[in-house]
Structures are given as structure tokens and as C-alpha cells.
A and B are shown apart, each in its own frame.
Chain A
């Protein structure tokens, strides 16, 4: 071994080099307070290694960025760990930088001859913030997409160069493939190289000037190795432990039995959707104070809050070595540093409280947006992980055609002016996101439309004229209401004993027969085929529904909606397309618009895709993973 080292040393001078690295003179002995610079270098090292490994699996394009990050996070072995470590080490870096900076200012380590190294440090700070900003966009999720849009729009505020510069950064007039490739080149290429260069200069100058020692008589002088190395290593170990804790406990509400990779480590929102603004868009925590300050500086032109004020503050930091030449100036620097930190802290808290108080309408709006964003993200991951997988068009197209999440939106947009979609009584099992309650509904409640429960209700004299069915429509006193009240209600009251029981059974069978027309499975019906058979006969013979309705081969269209295939995909699609068709309400149609009266007409209010999505949603048909 020694012979090999001799050989190597002779050719490289490695002994001298190691000696110079390890035997740095430390006056006053090793101290814990010297560890911060080392922890920052360590964080950079962690980011380089984890970043390169992430690079092996990341694909920067509008159709693959979110998808590849989803794959890393949820499908690759311990991908959540790698991503989590990269994400939280970045956060740690910002915190450690603040500590390092405060220490430098308090110790006066920016004063001659260390001014240039102080400025190098400030440049490093900018680079790290640049890395944080560019990295935030790369997963191409809603949060990163909309938050980064704000940042790049700020660039355009610069006079003269703003607009062309923004184009350069974004890679075009709007976000797309080249935004990602450019941000990725900055994040994984340009900025790390700059950081490594400036860090090398920073460390070289630091070694030239030596430590800024406050108390040289604290202990006997030593060397960097081994006592200070141990302290630095322990501090780095501390950093890794904090990072790991953050990776594992970021979601305190996580129940171990429901734990998935999606909940561990760094968050991944729903895929970026340029067509759907994200009301919960916020920058990373350490940029929140800037975000908040914009609200207070709104009286000035936008450039003031976005560029001039932060720029002036940054400039004041660059001036510190000059101000600090006098004892009073040094004190001023310390006060100014703490004032900035406290100010940023207060602004961050204010921003957080404004969003999270849960009392103000703005906060409620924000919290609702966060909740819906979280469920949308969860849904996106569920769909991406389904056997159907992600199509080449990307995960966004999966989400766009997903009835579970798009159905409520389409319903709100097109139907909720009149219709509710909510259970009558509190249904604990109901998914809150599927419930749409209208204050003053003027049409029927479409909750579980066309199911057996719904059919039972419409045949119930007490319910048919209620708000769930015709109560709020012009059919309130119509033929159907009269029929159910008189031919069913009054008749049932007249009957006694067995006859009554038998008539009730016929009503149930008729309900079953119509519900079966939708083609869905009838839950809780025993001997369904026989019941349907009997029910079909009752519709014709007992109730004479066919006097007004067409039902299979009996009756005619033109008077009342066709009961053939009632609430089936085909029926619903045709009905929503044009309820005034002779198959449905014809000229008796009560205010219901035709959503697609002419097939494939771009002027239709619902595109064929949206119509299909809405129909699936009304029928309660969407993908759910088997385990749920």
C-alpha cells in the first residue's frame, strides 16, 4: 500500500495535496460554529449525486415530464426516496444559507480582506435560489407550472429587455417543450457548473484568508483534521437525518395502511394543465415573503415589487463590506440583516395565515383549491398507475377524459344552473367531490339518475311532486305527477291485504324493469331476470305506461320520453344532445337546452368527448383501482 502511495505521490503530489487539505490551521481549536460552510458544500454534493441519478429517469417535455416524474415517484424502486432527498436537501440548503449568512455578518467576516469572498457568497446565494426556481418547474405539475409562470412573467416587467428576455427563458411565447428543455439545461447544466465554479473560488479564497476567529484563546490551535472534520461530518449527518425525517414524515396525516409512494417525499401535483388555472399556486416557502410583499406594494407599478425592491435589498447586501468599515456600520449591517430576516419571516407568516386561517373567503377559496388539487393529483396518479396506463399524449389527456374528476366540472358548468346532484339525506359513503348542491334547483335532482332508487322515488306519490323530481318544473301538475298520485297513490290506499301487497310488488317490479333499461347491474335485487320479466309485463298490463311512453316494442314516441334504454349510454347521449327530440319531450320540453343538436357540429355546447365524459359520470362509471 505504502509503495503504491509512494508511486502515486511521486507522479501526482497527492500527499502534499491531501496534507494541504486536511492540515488547515485552526486557531483557537475546533468549534461547532465552523460547520455551516461545510454543510452547504455537502448539500451541493448530495444535490449533484441525486440530481444526476434523477437525470437517468427524467424526460423533459410537455408530454413526458410529469409522466417520468410520476414513474420515478411511484413505480421505480425507492424513487420517492431519491426525489424526496433531492427536494428536501434543496430546502435545507436555503435554510443553511441563511444561517451561514447571518454568521458571516455577525462575525464581521465580510470585512477586509474578505470582501470579495463575501460577494462570491452572495453570488452563490443567487445561484442556489436560481436552482430552486428552475427545479420547481421540472415536474410539470399544476403547482410548479402556475407558480413559475408568475416568476417568468416578472421578467417581462423589465424595461426594454424584459419581453425578449422572457422569450429566451421560456423558449417561446408560451410554456411548452422548450420551456422544460431550457429550464432543465439551466437547472442541471448551467447553474450547477456556475455553482461549482463559484464554490471553488469561495473555498480557495476562504483557505487563503483562513477562518474568522472570534476568540483565538478558546483552546489550543489545531488542524482541520481530525477534530474539525469530525464536527463537520457530524453536522452533515445531522442534515441527512433532518432530510430523511422530512422525506418520511412530510405527510403527518398518512395512515400506514394507506401509505403509497405518492405520499412520501416530495409532492407531485396533477399534471400541468394550461386550460385550467390553479388557484392554489404558491411559490416555494422561501419565496413566500416575496409573494406576500407584492400584495403590499400593489400601489406601485408591478416592476417595483417584483424587481426594484428585491434588487435594492440585494444591492444593500453587496454594499455591506463598505458600510461595515466603521464599527457603527458593522452594527447597522447586523441590525439590517436581522431586520430583513424578521421581515421575511413575518411576511412568510402573514402569507401563510392569509391562506390558512379558514375564515376569510379568500382563505376558504385557497383551502378548497388545495383540497381539490390534492384529490386531482391523487386521481391523476391512480389513473396513471391503472392497467390502461398513460397514453403517448400524456397524463393530462387521461385526466381530461376522466368522468370522476371532469364530470363534476362539466355538470357545474352546464347543468348546475337548474339541476342538483346530491343525496336527499346525508350519505356518509358519498364522495363529497361528487356532490353538487344547488341553492334553488329548478329541475330534478340527478343523484344516481336512472338507478333503481331513483325509479322507486319517481313512482312514489309523496316524492314525485317534490324537489327531487318534478317539484320545481312545469311538470309539477303534469300527467305523470297526476298518474303517480292517483293511479298509484290513491289506488294503493283503496286496496287492502294481499291485493295491496301484490300492487306494491308490481310497482317495485316496474321500477326494476325500467332501471334495468340503463344496462347497469341492479344491486340488491335477487332473481333479477325474473323480476325484470314480470316488471316489463306490469308496465304494459298493470300501469299502462305505454299509453304515453314508448317501452320496447309497445307504445309510441311523441307524448312522453321513451323508456326504452332509459338512462343507458345511448339514451343519455341522445337526450342531452337534444331533449326536444320527438323521442323525449318534443315541444313540451321545459327549458332544458340541447347540448349537441347537430352531430359533430363544433358549435355544439358539448363536444363529443365531453358529452361522453358527462354521460359516464351521470351513470357513475369510471375507473377505480381494485384495492379500494
Chain B
């Protein structure tokens, strides 16, 4: 009995030691295996951090971008495509006066008071640029055949909302009315309008 007990104690020590060694080996091995991933994690998820930074910087919404003089847009209610030109900051590069998007503008004057409607040309379904079909007088997406009325209202097709309208401001610029648009992109594929920063 005693002998067996003694033998058991002798056996138990290496077993416990062996457990410790296994445990330590797994911990150390796991640590070093994770190390390079940990070192690169910041760079990998940097885009999250960056979008948050720009969001806080532009808290008061999209910047107004001058598009064209009011006189350049006939008051016939027909949508016309205009490029949106703005300064672009792309990672390390800063480029002035780049085309950042496309909008459709149509002007209707009510009692001599000019009213401009600006629509983002990106289809709210998945982001292709829509075309204006003059024969049918509606917008059509070349990708998945969503269609929208002249005012941007959804007519048919897979898009879950109408075209995204953008705030317009008319500003006097040296005796000439200038159209400014708060250009903004929105998340695609969903029913509500959620700005993308």
C-alpha cells in the first residue's frame, strides 16, 4: 500500500510538470503565432478609423459644390447631366478639381422663381449611372433596368428607393446666379437614404 502510494507520488510530479509544459508551450506558441497579425491589425482596419475621422470633420454635412451658372440650365424641366468637380483627397494624394461624380439637374420656373432639382446619377440599387431616356421621359439604369420618373420617383425595377435628390442652393456670384449642390453619395441597395462619408 505504502509502496504503491509512494510510486503514485513519483508519477504525479512529472505529470503535473508535463501539464505545465504543455500549457506553457501552447501559450507561448499561440502568442508568437498571433504576433505578426497583431502588428498588422491597425493597418488592416485603418479604413474604419479613417471614415470615422472624416465623419467627425464634416459633421455639418456635405460641402456645397458650384456646378454651373443658373443661366446655363434652360427652364424646360428636362434633366441634363453635369459633372461634379471637387478637390479629392485619396489616401496620400491631394488632387484639385477632379470629377467626383455626376448629377442630373432640371429646372422649372414657377411664377418666374427658378426651382432646380438635382439628382445623383448613381442608381440607388447598386450604383451604375442611370441614363435619361428622352423618348419615354424617364431615367433608366443600364445595369438592372430600374426606372425612375423625371423627379426621381421610383417607377419599377429592383431599386428599393427613388433617385437620391441633393440640396440645391442658388447664390449670387457677381451679378450672376450660380447653382451650388451639396454633393453626397448614399448607401446602395437599401430603402432609406443613408449618406456614405
A interface residues (Cβ-Cβ under 8 A, vs B): 42, 45-46, 48-50, 53-54, 56-57, 64, 67-68, 70-72, 75-79, 81-82, 85, 225-227, 229-230, 233-234, 236-237, 239-240, 384, 388-392
Contact residues in A for B91 (Cβ distance below 8 Å): 68, 71
Query: For chain B, which range describes its interface: under 10, 10 to 19, 20 to 34, or 35 or more residues?
Result: 20 to 34
Contact of B94 among A64, A236, A389 (CB under 8 A): A389
Query: Would you call B56 an interface residue if the criterion is a C-beta within 8 Å of the partner chain's C-beta atoms?
Result: no
CA–CA, A53 and B35, complex, Å: 13
Do A230 and B41 contact each other (CB < 8 Å), given the known contacts A240-B35, A389-B93?
no
Is A390 a contact of B25 with CB atoms below 8 Å? no
Is A78 a contact of B42 with CB atoms below 8 Å? yes
Contact residues in A for B35 (Cβ distance below 8 Å): 46, 240
The 3 closest A-B pairs by CB, nearest first: A78-B42, A389-B94, A53-B40
Is A72 a contact of B31 with CB atoms below 8 Å? no
Query: Would you call B44 an interface residue if the criterion is a C-beta within 8 Å of the partner chain's C-beta atoms?
Result: yes
CA–CA, A77 and B93, complex, Å: 18
Which stretch of B16-24, B72-80, B133-141, B176-184 is in the interface?
A: B16-24
With both beta carbons as reference points, the residue of chain A lying nearest to B37 in the complex is identified as: A49
CA–CA, A392 and B96, complex, Å: 9
Do A46 and B36 contact each other (CB < 8 Å), given the known contacts A67-B93, A76-B42, A233-B28?
yes
Q: List 17 A-B contacts (CB under 8 A).
A: A49-B36, A49-B40, A53-B44, A68-B91, A68-B92, A70-B92, A77-B42, A79-B46, A81-B42, A229-B29, A233-B32, A234-B28, A236-B28, A236-B32, A240-B31, A392-B93, A392-B95
Contact of B18 among A68, A226, A391 (CB under 8 A): A226
Query: Would you call B10 an interface residue if the criterion is a C-beta within 8 Å of the partner chain's C-beta atoms?
Result: no
Contact residues in A for B94 (Cβ distance below 8 Å): 388-391
The residues in B between 6 and 60 inclusive whose CB is less than 8 angstroms from any CB of A are 18, 21-22, 24-25, 28-29, 31-33, 35-37, 39-46, 49
Measured between C-beta atoms, what is the minimum distance from B10 to chain A in Å? 15
Query: Would you call B89 an interface residue if the criterion is a C-beta within 8 Å of the partner chain's C-beta atoms?
Result: yes
B interface residues (Cβ-Cβ under 8 A, vs A): 18, 21-22, 24-25, 28-29, 31-33, 35-37, 39-46, 49, 89, 91-95
Contact residues in B for A71 (Cβ distance below 8 Å): 91-92
Contact of A82 among B24, B29, B43 (CB under 8 A): B43
Do A53 and B92 contact each other (CB < 8 Å), given the known contacts A230-B25, A230-B28, A237-B31?
no
Measured between C-beta atoms, what is the minimum distance from B77 to chain A in Å? 39
CA–CA, A42 and B30, complex, Å: 12
CA–CA, A46 and B37, complex, Å: 8
Contact residues in B for A236 (Cβ distance below 8 Å): 28-29, 32
The B interface, classified by DSSP as helix, strand, loop or mixed, is helix
Contact of B43 among A67, A72, A230, A391 (CB under 8 A): A72
CA–CA, A82 and B22, complex, Å: 30
CA–CA, A67 and B93, complex, Å: 8
Is A82 a contact of B39 with CB atoms below 8 Å? yes
Is B43 a contact of A226 with CB atoms below 8 Å? no
Contact residues in A for B49 (Cβ distance below 8 Å): 77
Is B29 a contact of A233 with CB atoms below 8 Å? yes
- Additional 15 contacts, C-beta under 8 A, given A71-B92, A233-B28, A233-B29: A49-B37, A68-B91, A75-B92, A85-B36, A226-B21, A230-B25, A233-B24, A237-B28, A237-B31, A237-B32, A240-B31, A389-B89, A389-B94, A391-B94, A391-B95
Contact residues in B for A227 (Cβ distance below 8 Å): 21, 25
Contact residues in B for A81 (Cβ distance below 8 Å): 39, 42
Contact residues in A for B21 (Cβ distance below 8 Å): 226-227, 230
CA–CA, A391 and B97, complex, Å: 12
CA–CA, A70 and B44, complex, Å: 16
Is A50 a contact of B40 with CB atoms below 8 Å? yes
CA–CA, A45 and B32, complex, Å: 10
Is B32 a contact of A79 with CB atoms below 8 Å? no
With both beta carbons as reference points, the residue of chain B lying nearest to A81 in the complex is identified as: B39
CA–CA, A180 and B32, complex, Å: 32
Is B32 a contact of A82 with CB atoms below 8 Å? no
CA–CA, A181 and B37, complex, Å: 26
Is A230 a contact of B92 with CB atoms below 8 Å? no
Is A389 a contact of B92 with CB atoms below 8 Å? yes
CA–CA, A389 and B95, complex, Å: 9
Is B28 a contact of A82 with CB atoms below 8 Å? no
Measured between C-beta atoms, what is the minimum distance from B72 to chain A in Å? 29
Contact residues in A for B22 (Cβ distance below 8 Å): 225-226
CA–CA, A50 and B24, complex, Å: 25
